[in-house]
């Protein structure tokens, strides 16, 4: 790296020096126009003498020409003498321009590299970058390694009654290891309590019991719990589960979202951006994966080299205003995630105090689930069942949101 900077500085100064020398040399060799005219007229006098010697012109014509040329020499010489006092000014202007050129070449080169370059990063071709991404993907940590590196966090606050119910459910499942419904409920309950490792262990039992009849959603739920257990990291084991989900349903939104996340984590933001952009445009309103994509898609577009990306509008999804979107352009990924959480919190408060459409209730449940607040999602679903108890059609819409969040079958 030191050699690179030394070579860069030397080349920049060398180019600036060449420009300066060329400018100074041009100023030194360029005098007033009248001085040049004098030299031309003197050459013409010599040419007249040569023409006389060759017999091309007569002596009378030669004398007439010499008189005219001499008159012009005197006139040009007089003008050159008159402009002699200002002869140093062009050179002063040349030195100032030379200094400016040097500053622009050296300083401008450094500024441009600071904006577009990557100090400390070698020059890589597209093929080399793809090869590095593949190597990173092949050699990334396993699920167990990722979980072992997770920091210790405080356990979420759980209602004692709910915790007691989950404990009894654990005991019942242990006594009946082939109880499908029991494992389904246990997986969701453990996830709601933030016990994602235990949750995906129970979900693995669900897949084992179902066997070949396991759906794409079953696999996607397992991958979701594995990713949450690893703090948002998509491990090789989780990737294989996602591939199983996409084999059964290539349009599964959860699996597509996490495949995009995996690509972004292994050096292929271009693939992640294309996948997320297509998913964003094709997903129905209220889809559980929309909030996390919206929170990251602009940064992913930037990393993919798409500088003029415009986030498409998503029908039915409450989002920030135009002013909010302008402000979000300068936000970090964490700040944008906080903005999404704030929007979800505002929707939750409004539904609790003013009520809303069943689509909004469904969207709130799925959004809370994606943001990792499973306990709150369960509480909202329970509340929605009371609110829409007398409206089966509306309750069916909310149930779809709960099903997308994995709260019901």
Span 142-184, pLDDT tens digits: 999 999 988 877 666 677 877 888 899 899 999 999 999 899 9
- Distance of alpha carbon 336 from alpha carbon 333, whole angstroms: 5
Is 80 exceeded by the pLDDT of residue 282? Answer: yes
**Verdict on whether the full-model pTM lies above 0.85:** no
Mean pLDDT within 111-126: 62
- Distance of alpha carbon 22 from alpha carbon 279, whole angstroms: 58
Contact 227, 233 (CB under 8 A): yes
pLDDT attached to residue 338: 67
Maximum pairwise Cα distance, the chain: 136
pLDDT attached to residue 247: 95
Contact 110, 193 (CB under 8 A): no
pLDDT attached to residue 43: 79
Which of the two residues, 226 and 52, has the higher pLDDT score?
A: 226
Contact 344, 297 (CB under 8 A): no
Mean pLDDT within 202-207: 94
Quick: pLDDT tens for 321-330: 445 545 555 5
> What is the band of 108 on the pLDDT scale with cuts at 50, 70, 90?
confident
Q: Which of 156, 208, 198 is nearest to 378 (CA)?
A: 156
Give percent of the chain above pLDDT 90: 23
Q: Which of 98, 75, 99, 107 is nearest to 27 (CA)?
A: 98
Which of the two residues, 246 and 104, has the higher pLDDT score?
A: 246
Mean pLDDT within 118-144: 76
Is 60 exceeded by the pLDDT of residue 313? Answer: yes
């Amino acid at each position: 790296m030191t050699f690179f900077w030394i070579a860069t500085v030397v080349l920049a100064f060398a180019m600036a020096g060449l420009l300066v020398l060329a400018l100074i040399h041009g100023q030194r060799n360029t005098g007033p126009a009248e001085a040049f005219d004098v030299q031309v007229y003197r050459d013409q006098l010599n040419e007249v003498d040569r023409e006389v010697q060759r017999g091309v012109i007569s002596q009378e014509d030669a004398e007439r020409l010499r008189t005219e040329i001499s008159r012009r020499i005197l006139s040009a010489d007089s003008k050159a003498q008159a402009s002699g006092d200002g002869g140093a000014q062009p050179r002063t202007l040349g030195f100032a321009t030379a200094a400016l050129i040097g500053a622009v070449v050296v300083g401008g080169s450094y500024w441009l590299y600071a904006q577009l370059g990557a100090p400390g990063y070698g020059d890589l071709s597209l093929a080399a970058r793809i090869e590095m991404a593949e190597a990173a993907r092949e050699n990334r940590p396993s699920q167990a390694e990722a979980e072992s590196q997770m920091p210790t966090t405080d356990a979420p606050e759980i209602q004692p009654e709910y915790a007691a119910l989950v404990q009894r459910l654990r005991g019942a499942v242990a006594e009946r290891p082939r109880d499908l419904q029991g494992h389904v409920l246990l997986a969701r309950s453990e996830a709601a309590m933030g016990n994602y490792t235990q949750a995906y262990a129970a979900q693995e039992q669900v897949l084992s019991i179902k066997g070949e009849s396991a759906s794409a959603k079953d696999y996607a739920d397992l991958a979701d719990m594995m990713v949450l257990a690893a703090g948002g990291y998509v491990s090789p084991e989780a990737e294989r589960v996602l591939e199983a989900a996409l084999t059964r349903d290539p349009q599964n939104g959860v699996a597509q979202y996490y495949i995009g996340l995996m690509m972004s984590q292994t050096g292929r933001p271009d693939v992640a951006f294309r996948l997320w952009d297509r998913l964003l445009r094709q997903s129905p309103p209220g889809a559980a994966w929309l909030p996390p994509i919206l929170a990251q898609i602009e940064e992913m577009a930037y990393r993919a080299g798409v500088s003029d990306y415009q986030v498409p509008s998503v029908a039915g999804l409450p989002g920030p205003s135009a002013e909010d979107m302008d402000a979000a352009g300068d936000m970090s990924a964490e700040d944008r995630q906080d903005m999404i959480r704030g929007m979800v919190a505002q929707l939750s408060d409004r539904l609790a105090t003013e009520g809303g459409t069943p689509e909004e209730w469904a969207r709130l449940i799925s959004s809370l689930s994606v943001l990792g607040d499973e306990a709150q999602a369960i509480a909202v679903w329970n509340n929605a069942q009371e609110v829409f108890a007398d409206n089966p059609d509306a309750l069916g819409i909310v149930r779809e949101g709960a099903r997308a969040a994995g709260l019901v079958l």
